[in-house]
Structure 1
């Protein structure tokens, strides 16, 4: 406890933690104390309500020019399992989601060099025209930068055209880890961390909110994790555009990192809870919503994480391919009543929300 006494004082005084504080937390094995501090900060900031959303994931293609070493989802065009959804196929998925009560479509894919910009625009405009009540959280910062590079447009022009077509917000994917040396080892052909932050900053200035992510449990260091979270905090201080932070658990199965770096198991439950708690403590007061993404950590760890700083359990999801390609064993769909049960069983108040964290219904 002595090693964390200065951090306890800062948290009680609502002071920002710095890089050295983050390193102390990362190197500490006192998970119970770190969790208690995060739970205190969570309650002080957002109370006992836990957010969830009725959403559907649509992964529109797996053909990718990036081929990240941590990814088991991508395919070359010639491979049998390669696919790209037509707009009609996307509309069919959206219709099913709408009938199941979804209020959000989460649309992400790979960097497919064969898809023109108009495809992305048409996906949004068709969906927005038929389902105006569903929000369209679509295309990661990596996809936005790729579209800009291929089309010759600026990041701002791409975002403005997509916003006009119906884009509501950006998902947080592609953040991975910002440290340049580590990033080059796990995703050498992806945009840099600085470029990712610039896309997000541009979106925020245009009134497009977003989420933020970090991939942990691969070859990153403690300092990489602290640096990543603090860079997000600095951008949030300038723009206020991040709505939630999602620590993403690395799943090694079928990835190049598993084959070449011999990462067999990925992070443990201890790691999952510790990263969730430290995220709350470093971001607290800036990014208020910390997600325990049940698809990646499993529903039981997600439930426990609600006592380690998390206040959002994501949503129904309905369909998810990326994590499952890397060995994710969770179901592809979580019924709303199951989410409510998990939250209530953890002693929290379930609240169904919109993409922008407006309350739809509180379940007492």
Structure 2
């Protein structure tokens, strides 16, 4: 490939949109610090303040029963008869939400497996109960969970999301995207939602003004072209939503695949070929900022590679460091190095931000600033 990297950077600085061929060239050939400078330039065009945002929330998994058997997941149990299977009780859910409220959380992030034993009414009742009993925003159910509701109810995505919104749902998390390329998905999660379905559900959510995030996991042995297929799907979906005057995706979050002996992928003879290191992650974060020129906020991931790398990512185009989480069960059980430190206090997150050279600002899911800490 004979592509002039200098001309790519000049075109980017002039406001040109990055194409797939040029993005592959940057992945393969650009110096790491050149990528950082270009991504930071793009970041400050979108977010000119010398500050980094964070969110105070709690991540709660309402069930670990799942029928999709993803090869990279160590969290799920295959059926409700498994001795470690659970569906969270209202009592435990109350305790978890009250603990979150005590530290000033503004959001609950509720996600779980695809449990065939749960009816559609279960989800509606759960959302309504949380909304009626706790003064906190609820973001819940990734697109793959919305498809599960479609399968058990026969309702359309529009009907499901509208009814959940009426019950109190404020937004959808971006989970289940992994790599939005069906060749990759058929290899690592053949029972899971197709790439086109994930995008379709998110665009329905955009039409209802639900907050959403776009996510990506690298390290499945995918090609650079397949990574760019994913980014292209996100960019095109965002273009369509923005052309209708909609908010679209509020943020883009990427992280690296975690796979230990708890996952079938981690136990396979090809395990050494999966995953991605810190340098590859930083290159990817920078490319994501440059390619996704229509998504304002980009988030660094501290649970997978640790806070040190997350701080570096703040100089590779990211303007947000994510949330306190309080608990994390899915990535940690797949082998994340921070599995014994899955919670960050608001004070600790602010310290990470300050140590990276920025002012810290607490936000909500819509990226409204709640408080700035100079």
TM-score if structure 2 supplies the norm length?
0.94
In structure 2, the partner of 1:337 is: 347
The C-alpha deviation readout for 1:88-137, integer Å capped at 9, x for no partner, is: 321221111111211010111110101111111122111111223x1111
In structure 1, the partner of 2:104 is: 101
In structure 2, the partner of 1:6 is: 7
The residue matched to 1:183 in structure 2 has which SS? helix
Matched, 1:312 2:315: no
Q: Is the 8 A contact 2:184 2:220 kept in 1?
A: no
Matched, 1:79 2:114: no
Alpha-carbon shift at residue 29 of structure 1 (Å): 5.2
Alignment of 1:216-255 (within 5 A): 216-240=218-242, 241-253=248-260, 254-255=262-263
The residue matched to 1:27 in structure 2 has which SS? helix
Alignment of 1:270-309 (within 5 A): 270-284=279-293, 286-309=294-317
Matched, 1:88 2:121: no
Q: Is the 8 A contact 1:67 1:187 kept in 2?
A: yes
The C-alpha deviation readout for 1:294-332, integer Å capped at 9, x for no partner, is: 112211110110001111110111011011101223212
Counterpart-to-counterpart distance in 1, 2:133 and 2:29: 52
Structure 1: give runs of 5+ residues left out of the alignment.
none
Q: Is the 8 A contact 1:70 1:255 kept in 2?
A: yes
The C-alpha deviation readout for 1:8-45, integer Å capped at 9, x for no partner, is: 11211111111111111222252111111111111222
Counterpart-to-counterpart distance in 1, 2:270 and 2:86: 29
Counterpart-to-counterpart distance in 2, 1:162 and 1:170: 11
Counterpart-to-counterpart distance in 1, 2:365 and 2:46: 19
In structure 2, the partner of 1:351 is: 361
Counterpart-to-counterpart distance in 2, 1:88 and 1:21: 53
Alpha-carbon shift at residue 171 of structure 1 (Å): 0.3
Alpha-carbon shift at residue 159 of structure 1 (Å): 0.4
Alpha-carbon shift at residue 228 of structure 1 (Å): 0.5
Structure 2: give runs of 5+ residues left out of the alignment.
243-247
In structure 2, the partner of 1:258 is: 266
RMSD: 1.5
Alpha-carbon shift at residue 261 of structure 1 (Å): 5.1
Larger mean CA deviation between 50-59 and 21-30 belongs to 21-30
The residue matched to 1:147 in structure 2 has which SS? helix
